[in-house]
A and B are shown apart, each in its own frame.
Chain A
Amino acid sequence: MSAALQSPFAAGIAALARDDPAAAVPLLRAALASGEGGAYAELNLGMALTALAQFHAAEPHLRHALLALPELPEPGMRLGVIAAMRGDSTEARACYEAVLRRHPQHVPALAGLAALAEKAGALDQAAALLARARAAEPDEPELDFAAARLAFAAEDAALAATLAEAVLHRRPLHVAAAQLLARALLRCHPEAAALALLDRHAAAAPLAPAWALAQGFACAELGQLEPAIAAFQLADTLAPDNPDILGEFGRLLAQQDRPDEALDALLPALAARPANLDFRNLAATLMWRRHRYAEMVAMLQAGIAEFGPHPTLNLNLALVLNAQGRQQEALDAADAAIAQAPGNIAALVNRIAVLPYHETQGTAAVLAAAAADIAAALPVATPLPAAPRKPKPRLRLGLLSGGFGIHPVGWLTLAGLEALPEDRFELTAYSLKPRRDALNARFRARAARWHEVSERDDATLAALIRADEIDILIDMGGYGDTGRPFVLTHRPAAVQLKWVGSQFCTSGLPGVDYMLTDRWETPAGFEPHYSERLLRLPDGYVCYLPPSYAPAVSPLPALRNGHVTFGCFNNLAKLTPTVLRLWARLLRDLPDARLVIRTHALSDPGTLALTRDRFAAAGLPLDRMDLHGGCPHTEMLAGYNAIDIALDPFPYTGGLTVCEALYMGVPVVTLAGDSFAGRHALSHLSNVGLPDWVATDAAGYLAGAHAAAADLPALAAVRATLRQRTLASPLCDAPRFGANLGSALEAAWAAA
Chain B
Amino acid sequence: MSGQTQGAQQVVTERLMAKAHLLLESRRPAEALPLLDRLHHLAEVPAPAREARAIALLAMGRFGDAIGAAGEALDALPGSAALLQIRGRAHLAMGHDIEALDDAAAAVMADSASNDAKGLMAEALMKVGKPDEAIFLAWRVAQALPDDMQAHLRLAQAFIMAGRHVAAEELLAMLEARAPRLGQPVALRAQNKLLMNDAAEAERMTRAALDRGLAEASVHSILAHALVAQSRLPEAGVHFRAAARLAPHDAYLAHLASASEGGTPERASDAYVASVFDGYAGRFEAELLSLGYRVPGLIRLAVERWLAETGQSAIPGPVLDLGCGTGLVGVALLGLTEAGLCGVDISRNMITQTRAKGIYTELHQAEFSAALASIETRFALVAAADLFCYFGDLTEPLQAAAARLADAGVMMFSVELAPEASGWHLGDSGRYRHSLAYVNSALRDAGLSAVSIAPEPLRQNAGDWVGGLFVIARRLVC
Contacts and interface: CB of A to CB of B under 8 A. Distances in A.
Interface in B322-338: none
A181 to B, nearest CB: 18
B39 interface: yes
Contacts of B175: none
B217 to A, nearest CB: 8
Contacts of A444: 215, 245-246
14 contacts: A207-B9, A207-B42, A212-B34, A212-B38, A226-B30, A229-B31, A233-B31, A234-B35, A238-B38, A438-B215, A439-B213, A441-B215, A442-B215, A548-B212
A230 interface: yes
B249 interface: no
Contacts of B212: 548
B245 A237 contact: no
A309 interface: no
Interface stretch (A298-306, A445-453, A600-608): A445-453
A237 B246 contact: no
A207 B245 contact: no
A202 interface: yes
A206 B211 contact: no
B346 interface: no
Contacts of B39: 206
A238 B246 contact: no
A206 B246 CA distance: 40
A124 interface: no
Interface in A419-444: 422, 438-439, 441-442, 444
A38 interface: no
Contact of B41 (A203, A240, A439, A446): A203
Interface string A528-564: 0000000000000000000111000000000000000
A446 B38 CA distance: 44
Contacts of A234: 16, 34-35, 38
Contacts of A441: 215-216, 246
A207 B212 CA distance: 51
A448 B241 contact: yes
A178 interface: no
Interface string B151-179: 00000000000000000000000000000
A227 interface: yes
B256 interface: no
A234 B32 CA distance: 8
A195 to B, nearest CB: 13
Interface residues of B, number: 30
B23 interface: yes
Contact of B213 (A226, A229, A438): A438
A548 B211 contact: yes
B87 interface: no
B108 interface: no
B207 interface: no
Contacts of A446: 242, 245
A355 to B, nearest CB: 36
Contacts of A150: none
Interface in A440-479: 441-442, 444-448, 450
A266 interface: no
Contacts of B241: 422, 448
B216 A230 contact: no
Given A227-B30, A438-B213, A445-B220, A206 B38 contact: yes
B12 interface: yes
B19 interface: yes
A254 to B, nearest CB: 16
Contact of A233 (B34, B214, B245): B34
Interface in B161-201: none
Nearest to B214: A438
Q: Is the interface of A mostly helix, strand, loop or mixed?
A: helix
Interface in A231-258: 231, 233-234, 237-238, 240
B307 to A, nearest CB: 52
Contacts of A547: 213
Contacts of A237: 15-16, 19, 35
Nearest to B257: A448
Contacts of B23: 233
B41 A206 contact: yes
Contacts of B383: none
B437 interface: no
A445 B9 contact: no
Interface string B7-28: 0010011011001000100000
Of all A-B residue pairs in the complex, the 9 with the closest CB atoms, nearest first, are: A445-B242, A441-B215, A206-B41, A206-B38, A442-B215, A230-B31, A234-B34, A237-B19, A233-B31
A144 B13 CA distance: 32
Nearest to A239: B12
B213 A548 contact: yes
Interface in A197-219: 202-203, 206-207, 212, 215
A705 B201 CA distance: 50
Given A207-B38, A233-B23, A548-B211, A447 B15 contact: no
Contacts of B30: 226-227, 230
Given A207-B38, A238-B16, A447-B245, 5 more contacts: A203-B41, A206-B39, A422-B241, A441-B246, A444-B215
B34 A231 contact: yes
Contacts of B12: 207, 238
Nearest to B216: A441
A405 to B, nearest CB: 11
A377 B16 CA distance: 51
Contacts of B216: 441
B86 interface: no
B363 interface: no
Given A202-B38, A441-B215, A448 B19 contact: no
A202, A212, A441 — most chain B CB neighbours (10 Å): A441
Contacts of A442: 213, 215
Interface in B245-262: 245-246, 248
B436 interface: no
A751 B215 CA distance: 36
A227 B33 CA distance: 10
Interface in B218-269: 220, 238, 241-243, 245-246, 248
- Which of the listed residues B16, B19, B38 has the most CB atoms from chain A within 10 Å of its own CB? B38
Contacts of B213: 438-439, 442, 547-549
Interface string B362-391: 000000000000000000000000000000
A422 B238 contact: yes
Contacts of A450: 245, 248
A226 B212 CA distance: 33
Interface string B28-62: 00110111001101100000000000000000000
